[in-house]
Amino acid sequence: MGAGVARAGMTGPIPMGLNTYCLRALRWNDAQLLDYCASQRLDAVFLQDSLDAKRDEPEHWKWVRGRAKELGLHLETGGSSLLPKDAAEMDAKMKALRRNIERAAGMGCGLVRTLLASDRASMPAGTIEQHMETAVKMLRAVRTQAMDAGVKLAIEVHKDLQAREHRTIVETAGKEYVGTYLDTGNPVFVMEDPMQTVEVLGPYALTVHLRDSVVYEHPKGIAVQWVPLGEGTVDFKAIVAKVREVCSGVHIYIKPITGRTPYVHPIYDDAYWKIFPEVKAPDFARFLALAKKGRPYEGHVVIEDHQGVPIPAHFLPAIQFQQREHMERSIGYARKVLGLGVRS
């Protein structure tokens, strides 16, 4: 493991944007999303998982680039997961990674989001170390393409690895073209305090996305659930202060993904720890201390993500309203309490 990265802290207003995935139920195209960001007086937009019918067309990439510039929006974008389910899927995954680099370059973005897997349960067979080696191999295979295009690979902090493992991938692949998409919502799904994630990965951050969680003790273990920004257990004043200290030149994106049921880490079940063999006692103690401060979410919420079940038609208007209202509530908190945003 390397010695880390020395970077200057951030001063002055931090530019603020939103992550478009949080508005997915509205089914807006890219033009509508860009206009919405401008209407909210934001500085940036992270176009993630675009639903636009033209999203794969190079001419559309050029249009998005131009429109974002007209609106004064800094633009970032992202692609899909890296790890193939098996060897037969490797070629398709590499093709998608290369195409996502092309798309980012076509939009004039300096980075493209990727991730290892949606969560630990979705990882292919093998050990965490083997998955890390596969990820490094895949990233190195596109090094020349990425550097020639002026695009860095931003690996999202997801429900797959803890921060130290993530850092090892970045340092092993090469910091000159690989960095971190620092998401504060996912660490709680790998039993990690988001502040620790920022401390470890902040110096490698290419982009920062704020998502809040309630974390609390449960009869079966520790429960976690995403909530609107400022309404959870995480101290975001401290998080933003740490971002200022250890990050440099990043835009901060508001990313409330809500309407999901709580997930419980069954920490009293010995079998559960087999999928987290690398967790260190001091790190878990820090996560447990966070849980002892928390409590279940008491706000009103429409549950929108049922695994494998489509959204009922009569639920859709409520979910669309909730996603937009939670986004605007979160932006308001970030602006008024955290002091984020230049246009603010």
User: Is the residue at 295 inside a domain?
Assistant: yes
**Domain at 27, CATH number:** 3.20.20.150
- Among 3-7, 26-30, 113-117, 238-242, the range scoring the smallest mean pLDDT is 3-7
Output the six-digit token pair for 116. 């290892």
The verdict on residue 302 lying in a domain is yes
**Measured CA distances, 229 to 162, 174, 255, 277 (Å):** 22, 33, 8, 31
Cα 234 from Cα 22, distance rounded (Å): 19
pLDDT at 8 over 90: no
* Angstrom distance (rounded) from CA 258 to CA 303: 8
Domain contains 1: no
The band of 7, judged by pLDDT with boundaries at 50, 70 and 90, is low
Let me know if residue 7 belongs to a domain.
no
Stretch 212-234: mean pLDDT: 98
Within a domain: 45: yes
Over residues 264-290, mean pLDDT: 96
Q: Name the residue with tokens 């087999």.
A: 274
**Tokens 């990882």 identify what position?**
123
**Containing H/E element for 270?**
none
Closest alpha carbon to 340 in 234, 239, 263: 239
Q: What is the mean pLDDT of residues 300-307?
A: 84
In a domain, 201, yes or no: yes
- Summarised one tens digit per residue, pLDDT across range 163-195 is 999 999 999 999 999 999 999 999 999 999 999
What total of structural domains would you count in the chain? 1
* Domain region containing 92: 16-336
Do the domain assignments include residue 9? Answer: no
Domain-embedded: residue 10: no
> Quick check: 1 pLDDT over 70?
no
Maximum Cα–Cα distance for the chain, whole Å? 56
What global pTM score does this model have? 0.96
What is the distance of C-alpha 334 from the center of its chain?
17
